[in-house]
């Protein structure tokens, strides 16, 4: 299933969403230009769980260099398909979540929930030595927030309906709920294999859950304030 667009125009210019997309693109171009130096760059700025474990549990490494990649890894990607897939979802769903949270609120939300997603991935494999990179956890949080704020918004989705592909409008809660279910099931299957690399499914699960929870609290708080006004 590939979402193509949502029927949910934004009320404001999504400045932060566009800036995040631009920054991820710029960093990826820099990665490409590094050539043979890319491997060491990803190990320096990607999130390596074993490094954080050595710093926190045993004090064998300085904490800041081990923890900072929790944030910097969100802006690195392992290839064009990884980059395009992430930024496509951010482009479709980010503008409306930014509408709800505001520019500054959305930026804080994106970074904090992305960090939460990375830390959940860490808990599933704290001794893994393979660097984790990608904005997937933060973008999963955007999807979770979107489900809460716009559950019935129609998302035009490309589906492989035999023998052809067809574009079908699906409610956001169904499409993104199904996406979350896939991530959860695949995450269960990947438990115990995190040290070998691959897709960080638990970062997706953690990000989605964090985004859903934060947006739910935000919506309830805003409604309470509106009643009191």
Cis link prior to 192 (omega < 30° from 0)? no
pLDDT for the residue 222: 84
pLDDT for the residue 190: 72
The domain limits of the chain are 2-228
Do 100 and 218 form a contact (C-beta atoms < 8 A)? yes
pLDDT for the residue 164: 80
pLDDT for the residue 198: 63
pLDDT for the residue 165: 86
CATH code reported for the domain at 2-228: 1.20.1540.10
Do 96 and 9 form a contact (C-beta atoms < 8 A)? no
pLDDT for the residue 229: 62
**CA atoms of 90 and 92, how far apart (whole Å):** 6
Residues facing residue 51 across a β-bridge: none
Do 139 and 90 form a contact (C-beta atoms < 8 A)? yes
Low-confidence stretches of the chain (pLDDT < 70) are 192-198, 229
φ, ψ for residue 46, nearest 5 deg: -80, 165
**pTM for the full predicted model:** 0.92
H-type alpha helices, 46-171: 49-56, 63-67, 69-72, 80-101, 103-124, 136-149
CA dihedral 197, 201, 202, 203 (to 10 degrees): 90
């Amino acid at each position: 299933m590939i979402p193509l667009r949502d029927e949910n125009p934004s009320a404001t210019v999504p400045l932060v969403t566009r800036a995040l997309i631009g920054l991820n693109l710029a960093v990826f171009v820099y990665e490409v230009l590094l050539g043979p130096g890319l491997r060491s760059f990803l190990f320096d700025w990607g999130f390596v769980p074993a490094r954080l474990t050595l710093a926190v549990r045993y004090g064998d490494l300085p904490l800041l260099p081990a923890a900072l990649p929790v944030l910097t890894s969100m802006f690195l990607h392992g290839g064009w398909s990884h980059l395009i897939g992430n930024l496509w979802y951010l482009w479709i769903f980010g503008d409306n979540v930014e509408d709800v949270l505001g520019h500054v609120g959305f930026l804080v939300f994106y970074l904090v929930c992305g960090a939460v997603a990375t830390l959940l991935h860490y808990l599933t494999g704290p001794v893994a030595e393979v660097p984790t990179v990608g904005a997937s956890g933060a973008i999963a949080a955007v999807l979770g927030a979107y489900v809460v704020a716009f559950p019935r918004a129609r998302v035009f989705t490309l589906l492989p309906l035999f023998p052809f592909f067809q574009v079908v409008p699906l409610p956001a809660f169904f499409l993104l709920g199904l996406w979350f279910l896939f991530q959860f099931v695949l995450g269960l299957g990947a438990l115990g294999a995190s040290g070998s690399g691959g897709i960080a499914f638990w970062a997706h699960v953690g990000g989605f859950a964090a985004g859903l929870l934060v947006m739910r609290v935000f919506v309830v708080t805003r409604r309470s304030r509106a009643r009191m006004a």
